[in-house]
Amino acid sequence: MAVPKKKTSKSRKGMRRAHDHAAKPTVVYCQCGEPAVPHRVCSACGAYKGRQMLRREEEQ
């Protein structure tokens, strides 16, 4: 089994972990004004690319 010869410093450990953080989610705003995930149907109004894809229960 491989064993390190020298202790890893706090600086080197921090530099290695610099890119391990969670990515901030991208948010776009739908035509209804609600925030939504890009390339997905809006959960508030059911629209995608300007077209109505889903009907809401309240509208029926």
Residue ranges per structural domain of the chain:
24-54
Average pLDDT of 37-54? 89
Q: What percent of the chain has pLDDT over 90?
A: 65
Res 29 pLDDT > 60:
yes
State pTM to two decimals: 0.55
Coil, strand or helix: which one is 59?
Answer: helix
Task: State pLDDT tens for residues 9-27.
Answer: 999 999 999 999 999 999 9
Predicted local confidence at residue 41, as pLDDT: 92
Average pLDDT of 32-52? 90
**Count of CB atoms situated within 10 Å of the CB of 49:** 8
